[in-house]
Amino acid sequence: MKIRCAIFDFDGTLFDSMYVWNTAGERYIRSLGKEPKPSLRESLRALSSSQAAHYLKEEYELDLSVEEIMTGIDRSVEQAYFHDVQPKPNVKRFLNELKRAGIRMCVATASARYQIEAALRRCRMDHFFDAVFSCTDVGYGKDEPIVFRKAMEHCGADRSNTIVFEDAIHAVETAKNDGFIVIGVYDENEEQQDKIRQLSDLYLESYDRTEAFWELVAAD
């Protein structure tokens, strides 16, 4: 299998940063003096920043523009990306191996592009990636495959030679349903690990052991 393009999710796949978003919506709603619903976290899970802002505006009847809501959420989380979030153990080694193999790489994220780029620069990982594609920039969340397609096209690849790395069940489902090869990546914040294992072409418990990945890539 000749792989030309690897597309990585960021939060929970490249970086241990899901904690930033797990409570972002709840913290923002509370900052406005409202009580978030128990289902809010799950409701926002598959949405881009702009989709989440639309949802919050309608669901909580906020007298704010979508842009103002997005700005409020971004401010509540951006400091973590600029100063705190860290890559998953051994992911840099794995990215080095991919780069040496001539595989082009992109990030496809539901987070704001400037936040992701800041974290990559801070951790000296930006040189691995050709580009960062944000769901907000392309206009669709990961309930649609557009962000994956954009990254694939940027690398001059097609579905037969592109691999998507994801930790979230909704994104795994979207990529698989669109015909991508999908590598599921373990993250403690995703509850549906068994389903991800079933759907993925390969499942990585961590970046410590990637032999099975290279066996998959080497297969005819």
Residue 203 — φ and ψ, nearest 5°? -125, 125
The pLDDT of residue 161 is above 70: yes
* R_g (Cα) of the chain, nearest Å: 17
pLDDT for position 220: 60
pLDDT digits (tens, 9 = 90+) for 170-212: 999 999 999 999 999 999 888 899 999 999 999 999 999 899 9
Q: What percent of the chain has pLDDT over 90?
A: 78
pTM: 0.83
CB atoms within 10 A of CB 199: 18
Same structural domain, 112 and 211: yes
Which residues does residue 166 pair with via DSSP β-bridges, in sequence order? Answer: 184
Distance CA 100, CA 166 (A): 22
Domain extent, residue 54, equals 19-83
Same structural domain, 193 and 105: yes
Q: What is the mean pLDDT of the chain?
A: 93
Same structural domain, 112 and 178: yes
In terms of pLDDT, which residue wins out, 3 or 189? Answer: 3
Same structural domain, 135 and 205: yes
The pLDDT of residue 219 is above 90: no
Same structural domain, 46 and 113: no
Same structural domain, 159 and 189: yes
Same structural domain, 65 and 132: no
Tally of structural domains, the chain: 2
> Of 46, 156, 181, which Cα lies nearest the Cα of 106?
156
